[in-house]
Homo-oligomer: A and B are copies of this chain.
Amino acid sequence: MKHQAHLFVPGDWVTDTLQVPRASAAHLNKVLRYPDGGIVTYTDGYGRVGGGRWVDSAIERGPERLKPRITDLTIAVAPPKQRDRARFVVEKAQELGVAKLIWLNTDHTVGQPPSDSKVDAWLTGALEQSQGAWRTQVSGPATLADLDDPILCDATGRDFPGDDRTATATVAVGPEGGWSESELAGRPTVSLGPTTLRVETAVVAAAALFLHRQRQGDSIALPEALA
């Protein structure tokens, strides 16, 4: 299957023709050998998507619409030490449609959040590749106390959905060293399964499970709330 190009074009789109970053233009012209007049789709990362044409290394705008955000899931995560694992966290959160990703400072955090420019490049690549319309918002570093009623992924928790009775929107994934006792105290927990997962694996597994639950809506949450 030939992939149709999907481009991230931030901004307000006030002109009939949209300029794209030099790297994107070079990719279309030189790597994909995109034909002049070829159909492209594009997004501002805030739900607006359009279908237009690739003319003179810019986008000639066509029909556009607003796509609703599919989820409000926030994942807070202690940054992995290794760069390729941090890249994976960002890419996969974007692919799966996580709304917000927050780097977390925890008692046992050892990694540093990757630079803003790296994160931007990873997000753009994943947004374009997955034909997305909403860009994952990445922020931090924050602490657990900054989060809105987080549920903590932890091996000691009950199996998913764990102690969560209200279809929470904020899931926290700790560092390889785990949570401290004081971090766990009084906070709801969830186990993603019986095996020990790396940070980036836990992020994808948590996103898959919680996003699925959000899509199911109250049909899953209600019986627990009534219990």
Chain A residues in the interface with B (C-beta under 8 A): 1, 3, 70, 84, 88, 91-92, 95-97, 108, 129-132, 159-160, 176-178, 192-198, 201, 204-205, 207-209, 211-212, 215-216
In order of increasing CB-CB distance, the 10 nearest A-B pairs are: A205-B208, A1-B177, A204-B204, A208-B208, A130-B196, A97-B195, A131-B196, A95-B201, A92-B201, A130-B195
Decide: B198 and A97 in contact? CB cutoff 8 A. Answer: no
Decide: B160 and A193 in contact? CB cutoff 8 A. Answer: no
Q: Which of A96, A130, A207, A211 has the most CB of B within 10 A?
A: A96
Nearest Cβ in chain B — how far from A42, in angstroms? 16
Nearest Cβ in chain B — how far from A145, in angstroms? 21
Could you name 8 residue pairs across A and B whose Cβ atoms are closer than 8 Å? Answer: A1-B177, A1-B178, A95-B198, A96-B193, A96-B195, A159-B216, A193-B211, A209-B212
Tallying the copies of this chain within the complex gives 2
Given known pairs A88-B88, A96-B205, the reply for A160 and B194 (CB within 8 Å) is: no
Nearest Cβ in chain B — how far from A106, in angstroms? 12
Q: Specify the chain B residue showing the minimal Cβ separation from A193.
A: B211
Decide: A212 and B193 in contact? CB cutoff 8 A. Answer: yes
Decide: B208 and A129 in contact? CB cutoff 8 A. Answer: no
CA distance A95 to B192 in the complex (A): 12
Nearest Cβ in chain B — how far from A191, in angstroms? 10
13 further interface pairs, Cβ-Cβ under 8 Å (given A97-B195, A205-B208): A3-B176, A91-B201, A92-B201, A96-B193, A96-B195, A96-B197, A96-B205, A131-B195, A131-B196, A159-B215, A159-B216, A205-B205, A208-B209
Given known pairs A178-B1, A193-B97, the reply for A129 and B215 (CB within 8 Å) is: no
CA distance A129 to B199 in the complex (A): 12
